[in-house]
């Protein structure tokens, strides 16, 4: 097969404000600000770029990392891409992240089905089953099913060019949906019998439940992002999670099947966290052959990614899932606990700790990026349904401000906001109860008020983080922000509790929220609120 569309030379990576660029341009151009695409495409592409950087020059320690710098890293990555140029063809004898042998599995199954077919319809059905499957819209890392719910025009099937296929393929390897839409009724490359209703596990970065939350430190400079998130050999050894160490990226040596020595080595290396091989796929004729690939362990079995938020304080390791009702910025103070605590406490991210610490030492501004995809799971099948959606959050902070006092003040303020939210919920709920509304209606209106409150608070969160320093000026600004936050409570109550009749006005006056001690002092730690 002719080699074509080399990912090093051809533009395919979406970049904000620029369009598509090649791998070579990513490491050669200093003007690229950030990746484009949806949140999991950004994650998958960031992981690919980090995989290239780790393969090109993993520094031994922090001193070598600092000495190398952005320019040194970029130069080494460009040299690496030239050395491995032949491994980055999307189509060819050694197609990137693809396994040509899957075509033989499909052909063997087609031949077997044709031999068993007794009618014209069965023969046509057997031939159709041997054709590459549609990629759909490429919006999600999944094959479209016959009864896919189309929520918007972005989900309609469309022809995908080579650039779109490349982004889909890279995203698929880490974030493939678990379920039965992989090819079945065949023998895998390792000789396993895969039944007609075989269900494949989800990609390791998505996780086998509702979708795992990831966080990264970004800087507004794409090449600098890669430098800041680059792991050292010392840090990889200290994590004690990858027996194979850094390992080799998958394109340098593809496994022959899902259970050979190379596949086992991939699962035990840090490189597997960056570019997995959870599906054995082959792009062909605008479609794809799509088989189960390497089965990676779950979080409870020891799977570990620096971008995941993990709670390792209990007997079982827990992972933070995407929660569309509770945006990540509301828990930022908990994620940054390492600024003041020397021991583990709640959910923490190795990559976040490394990135924040480096930017704080450099005294530069940084962005804590958090994202993921909320999916629904049913009997092992994952899909996007109803209210499921992408989640993306960005919070900019000044590295030189970050410390124990700053974090203490942020915790105080967030505890106060949580108290206001519960107070608002109780006031709206009791308002409707007094008007003899049903419990479901009272709860629904209270939820609506609370949700609106947090939406309004999100607009002012950046101002809050800017003024959590321990000085008097910061305290004065927080005092002003507290008045603004309580104004959001009042506005939300008025929107959700009408006062058009005499009875409504009477209940409204009795149930409207009061500030209590919230406005007294921004340094006061709010008392623990009671459950509404």
pLDDT tens across 505-524, in order? 999 999 999 998 898 765 54
Q: Does residue 528 carry a pLDDT above 70?
A: no
Alpha helices in 306-438 (DSSP H): 332-335, 350-362, 404-434
Read off the pLDDT of each residue in 220-242 and give the average, rounded to a whole number: 97
Q: For the whole model, what pTM was predicted?
A: 0.93
How far apart (Å, rounded) are the C-alpha atoms in residues 49 and 26?
Answer: 9
Residue 9 CB contacts under 8 Å (≥ 6 apart), including other chains: 22, 24
Q: Does residue 157 carry a pLDDT above 90?
A: no
Read off the pLDDT of each residue in 48-72 and give the average, rounded to a whole number: 97
Q: Does residue 110 carry a pLDDT above 60?
A: yes
Q: Would you state the pLDDT for residue 151?
A: 57
How far apart (Å, rounded) are the C-alpha atoms in residues 312 and 316?
Answer: 7
Tell how far CA 504 is from the center of its chain. 45
Q: Which CATH class for the 403-511 domain? A: mainly alpha
Confidence of residue 359 (pLDDT cuts 50, 70, 90): very high
Which DSSP letter does residue 386 get?
T
Instruction: Give phi and psi for 252, each to the nearest 5.
Output: -75, -30
Q: Would you state the pLDDT for residue 84?
A: 98
Domain boundaries defined on the chain? 4-94+206-392, 403-511
How far apart (Å, rounded) are the C-alpha atoms in residues 110 and 347?
Answer: 48
Read off the pLDDT of each residue in 95-117 and give the average, rounded to a whole number: 95
Alpha helices in 152-280 (DSSP H): 162-175, 222-228, 233-239, 261-267, 271-274
Q: Does residue 315 carry a pLDDT above 90?
A: no
Q: Would you state the pLDDT for residue 208?
A: 87
Q: Does residue 280 carry a pLDDT above 50?
A: yes
Beta strands in 10-133 (DSSP E): 13-15, 19-21, 89-91
By the 10 Å C-beta count (0-12 exposed, 13-18 middle, 19+ buried), 97 is classed as buried
* More confident of the two residues 155 and 322: 322
């Amino acid at each position: 097969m002719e080699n074509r569309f080399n990912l090093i030379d051809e533009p395919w990576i979406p970049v904000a404000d620029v369009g598509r660029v090649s791998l070579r341009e990513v490491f050669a151009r200093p003007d690229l600000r950030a990746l484009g695409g949806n949140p999991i495409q950004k994650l998958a592409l960031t992981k690919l770029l980090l995989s290239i950087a780790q393969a090109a020059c993993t520094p031994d320690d922090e001193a070598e990392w600092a000495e190398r710098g952005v320019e040194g890293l970029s130069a080494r990555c460009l040299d690496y891409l030239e050395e491995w140029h032949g491994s980055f063809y999307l189509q060819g004898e050694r197609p990137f992240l693809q396994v040509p042998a899957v075509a033989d599995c499909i052909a063997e199954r087609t031949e077997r089905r044709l031999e068993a077919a007794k009618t014209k319809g069965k023969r046509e059905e057997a031939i159709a089953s041997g054709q590459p499957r549609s990629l759909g819209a490429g919006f999600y890392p999944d094959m479209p099913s016959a009864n896919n719910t189309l929520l918007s025009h972005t989900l309609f099937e469309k022809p995908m060019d080579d650039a779109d296929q490349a982004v889909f393929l890279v995203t698929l390897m880490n974030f493939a949906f678990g379920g039965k839409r992989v090819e079945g009724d065949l023998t895998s490359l390792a000789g396993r019998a895969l039944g007609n209703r075989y269900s494949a596990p989800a990609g390791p970065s998505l996780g086998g439940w509702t979708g795992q939350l990831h966080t990264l430190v970004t800087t507004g400079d794409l090449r600098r992002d890669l430098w800041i998130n680059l792991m050292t050999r010392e840090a990889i050894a200290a994590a004690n999670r990858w027996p194979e160490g850094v390992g080799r990226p998958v394109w340098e040596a593809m496994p022959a099947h899902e259970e050979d020595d190379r596949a086992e080595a991939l699962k035990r290396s840090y490189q597997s966290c960056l570019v997995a091989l959870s599906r054995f796929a082959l792009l062909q004729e605008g479609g794809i052959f799509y088989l189960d690939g390497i089965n990676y362990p779950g979080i409870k079995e020891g799977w570990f990614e620096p971008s995941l938020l993990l709670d390792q304080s209990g007997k079982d390791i827990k992972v933070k899932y995407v929660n569309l009702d509770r945006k990540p910025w509301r828990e930022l103070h908990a994620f940054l606990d390492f600024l003041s605590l020397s021991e583990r406490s709640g959910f923490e991210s190795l990559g976040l700790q490394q990135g924040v610490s480096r930017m704080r030492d450099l005294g530069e501004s940084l962005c804590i990026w958090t994202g993921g995809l909320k999916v629904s799971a049913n009997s092992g099948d994952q899909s996007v349904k109803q209210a499921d959606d992408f989640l993306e959050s960005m919070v900019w902070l000044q590295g030189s401000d970050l410390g124990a006092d700053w974090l203490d003040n942020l915790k105080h303020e967030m505890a106060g906001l949580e108290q206001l939210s519960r107070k608002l919920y109780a006031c709206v709920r009791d308002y409707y109860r007094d008007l003899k509304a049903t419990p479901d209606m009272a709860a629904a209106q209270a939820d609506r008020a609370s949700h609106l409150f947090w939406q309004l608070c999100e607009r002012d969160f950046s101002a809050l983080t800017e003024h959590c320093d321990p000085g008097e000026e910061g305290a004065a600004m927080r005092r002003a922000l507290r008045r603004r936050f309580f104004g959001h409570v009042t506005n939300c109550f008025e929107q959700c509790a009408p006062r058009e009749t005499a009875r409504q006005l009477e209940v409204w006056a009795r149930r409207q929220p009061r500030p209590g001690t919230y406005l007294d002092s921004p340094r006061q730690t709010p008392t623990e609120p009671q459950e509404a």
